[in-house]
Amino acid sequence: MDLLLLEKTLLALFSAVVVAIVISKLRGKRFKLPPGPIPVPILGNWLQVGDDLNHRNLTDYAKRFGEIFLLRMGQRNVVVVSSPDLAKEVLHTQGVEFGSRTRNVVFDIFTGKGQDMVFTVYGEHWRKMRRIMTVPFFTNKVVQHNRQGWENEAAAVVEDVKKNPEAATTGIVLRRRLQLMMYNNMFRIMFDRRFESEQDPLFNKLKALNGERSRLAQSFDYNYGDFIPILRPFLRGYLKVCQQVKEKRLKLFKDYFIEERKTLMGTKQTTNDGLKCAMDHILEAQQKGEINEDNVLYIVENINVAAIETTLWSIEWGIAELVNHPHIQQKLREELDTVLGAGHQITEPDIQKLPYLQAVVKETLRLRMAIPLLVPHMNLHDAKLGGFDIPAESKILVNAWWLANNPAHWKNPEEFRPERFLEEEAKVEANGNDFRFLPFGVGRRSCPGIILALPILGITIGRLVQNFELLPPPGLSKLDTSEKAGQFSLHIAKHSTIVAKPRSV
């Protein structure tokens, strides 16, 4: 740092201390704030809490301060709720008041300051984007049109694994092949396109850029500069890399996929059986002036991250738990064999006849929730919650993982036990009918992708268990299921090598 920048930083720090003390005294008279650790001027609770606001750390604070608490992270107020009743207040009862999104400096870059659907503020733009995305992506008609494609992609995974001699002996990193499957599932819907193999150069370029985007966005490493603006100059290099990755991704989306659909729309209006792909619907909305070109690009950005990655994480978690619990894997296999019979590979309509498979999927989503804090909410105006005052533009985190893993609400929650959803929790569904279990959120800002994720999870896990005995690699009795948490994500830290021994079906 040069002397001029150091001088400006120190001056800003001194001024900010004075202003923060004055504001703190004024606000102390106005607000009855939620409990929390005592903050210091400028830094707030940053030195006590650090950058890593993952679900387990926030659970520890909930045990100290209660079901609602406040962290002052530099200039940002972070309110964390950890009870079903308060989750209902945020997501449902006061869904309008808390219906906006807060973005940090990195998500501002990757979403064009909220030009997408997921991170835009609650209002007319969000309603318009939600409406435009619902018809081509999130309806039963879309599921029925695409389910055979999902089944074919799962069948292709099975065939490729069977052809790989290492799969049945030393094992393979199954995630790599499942990643191709998930890209094909979503790119079929978006663009009526698929990638032929893991070696496809365009697939690898896309996968690398999406992976870099996720690494940069989900890291906790940049929190200090987001919380404390006077430290933001130290993020210049980081934010520059984010901008470069964003520009490369959007250019790839446009040049290789969107422009192709524009050309085809002028000659061949529909896919072979008469239903347009999602991008055709979205481009029509652009032609009508409802959205602009940037909105189109950021819709593709959302699907590449929100739909592909989160479902892949859940599949990977589910497989790892089945490998580590062979009796559960065998019980699931017996259900598949008994209900479907020899030679019948599971299809989407079969899932409703397979309660234990549904329970395995729900238990995976409960114990290994892909978005454990949901996507952050925000109140645009001063609000009330749990008897406390919530200052305007506070970041509201719902610790959905703790709601689903709190021993006060669940029997032995640390256990992977699908039977709970057939016994004491038989009425609990993944759609948010019980505020203890919110893997997709609930209310206005819930994840609409639930309608795609649940059948894809059922088909994929079902096909793998039908066709293979899934085991840890030689020399290991269990897979390593250590967690890797991000800003609001949770995935397995180490992509496991898995032995897949073919069965006769």
Q: For strands 76-81 and 395-398, give the pairing.
A: parallel
Cα angle, residue 447 at apex, residues 441 and 449 outer, rounded to 5°: 135
CATH of domain 31-502: 1.10.630.10
CB–CB of 311/182 below 8 Å?
yes
The reply to whether 447 sits in an annotated binding site is yes
Where in the chain are the domains? 31-502
Classify 377 as helix, strand or coil. strand
CB–CB of 486/219 below 8 Å?
yes
DSSP notation for 204-267: HHHHHHHHHHHHHHH-STTHHHHH-GGGGGGGHHHHHHHHHHHHHHHHHHIIIIIHHHHHHHTT
- The alpha carbon of residue 315 and the mean position of all alpha carbons in its chain are separated, in whole angstroms, by 13
318 Cβ contact partners less than 8 Å away, ≥ 6 residues apart:
360, 361, 364, 368, 457, 461
Give the Cα separation of 485 and 221 in Å (integer): 12
pTM, 2 dp: 0.92
Residue 434: its pLDDT value, please? 98
Distances (CA, A) of 175 to 3, 124, 152, 280, 416: 50, 39, 18, 31, 21
Helices 140-163 and 450-467, packing angle to 10 deg:
30
495 Cβ contact partners less than 8 Å away, ≥ 6 residues apart:
173, 175, 176, 316
With 0-12 / 13-18 / 19 or more C-beta atoms within 10 angstroms meaning exposed / middle / buried, residue 497 is middle
CA torsion sign, 267 to 269 to 271 to 273? negative
Residue 505: its pLDDT value, please? 66
Classify 386 as helix, strand or coil. coil
CB–CB of 67/425 below 8 Å?
no
Q: Over its length of 505 residues, how does the chain's per-residue pLDDT go in tens digits?
A: 444 444 444 444 544 444 344 345 434 447 899 999 999 999 999 999 998 999 999 999 999 999 999 999 999 999 999 999 999 999 999 999 999 999 899 999 999 999 999 999 899 999 999 999 999 999 999 999 999 999 999 999 999 999 999 999 999 999 999 999 999 999 999 999 999 999 999 999 999 999 999 999 999 999 999 999 999 999 999 999 999 999 999 999 999 999 999 998 877 655 445 558 999 999 999 999 999 999 999 999 999 988 999 999 999 999 999 999 999 999 999 999 999 998 899 999 999 999 999 999 999 999 999 999 999 999 999 999 999 999 999 999 999 999 999 999 999 999 999 999 999 999 999 999 999 999 999 999 999 999 999 999 999 999 999 999 999 999 999 999 999 998 889 999 999 999 999 998 6
- Tokens 């120190």 label which residue? 10
